Structure 1
Amino acid sequence: MPDASTSFTRDIPERIAKNPARASLIGATFVFRITGEGGGTWTVALKDNAGVVPGEAEDADCTLTMTHDAWREISDHPGRAMHHFTSGVVQVTGNAMLAIKLPAIIG
């Protein structure tokens, strides 16, 4: 069960690096706001020059806000991500339809 920092500084960048073409096909920028102990804010760009940077991009297509516990659950079980979106555990602003593409990135 990775913490958010490990996910955004190691795991997700590794997944993007292994298949940058797949990441670029998503064609969106996401901001993740992970609240609580172990949380933080990261921008995941899945466009040209795909990658992850700390902080919040002003031009994000989709912003997801969740607790650190919710992040751990989603990163451990990406297939359950949609349940968390629809149940309100994860707050989504911007283009919520992009959130359905996230299991390909986080899992």
Structure 2
Amino acid sequence: MAVDIQKLFNEELPATLSNNADAAKQIGATFQINVTGDGGGEWFINTKDEVKAEAGNPGGADCVITISAEDFQKFYENPGANGMQLFFAGKLKITGNQMLAMKLQKLFDLKK
């Protein structure tokens, strides 16, 4: 089942973060997610001090992830296994602290 990327980042993830702020703060990092292609966009996710997810790219994220909308579908289904495959295939680009990318699964698990 395809995930609606716009709905995920604009509605579902912000609601999940506000409902699970303490759990989100344990991740303790800022992420910039850039999804290219149809249905994509740019979102800034803060799990450090002010827990929130919002559209835009203010800069200064600890971990920046760039991925196509098509590949994001695979990544979202299984961030651990598919994330590694996409990364090594050059389809998932990570700048900044690459270890933080592994914590994205925890972020998505809060929602599930």
TM superposition shift of 1:85? 2.6
Distance 1:86 1:17 in 2: 33
CA contact (8 A) 1:23 1:50 kept: yes
- Structure 1 residue runs of 4+, over 3 Å off? none
TM-score by length of 1: 0.89
TM superposition shift of 1:3? 2.1
SS at match of 2:67: strand
- Give the share of equivalent positions with the same residue, in percent: 34
TM superposition shift of 1:19? 1.4
Q: 1:27 to 1:81 in 2, by over 3 A?
A: same
Distance 1:95 1:13 in 2: 23
CA contact (8 A) 2:29 2:48 kept: yes
CA contact (8 A) 1:81 1:103 kept: no
Distance 1:67 1:15 in 2: 23
Task: Identify unmatched segments of 5+ residues in structure 2.
Answer: none
Q: Does 1:105 align with 2:104?
A: no
CA contact (8 A) 1:43 1:54 kept: yes
TM superposition shift of 1:76? 2.5
Residue 81 of structure 1: aligned partner:
83
Distance 1:11 1:74 in 2: 17
SS at match of 2:95: strand
TM superposition shift of 1:52? 0.7
Q: Deviations over 1:48-103 (max 9, x none)?
A: 22111111121110100000011122222334323323332210001111001010
Residue 17 of structure 1: aligned partner:
18
Distance 1:24 1:41 in 2: 21
Distance 1:35 1:77 in 2: 19
Residue 73 of structure 2: aligned partner:
72
Residue 48 of structure 1: aligned partner:
49
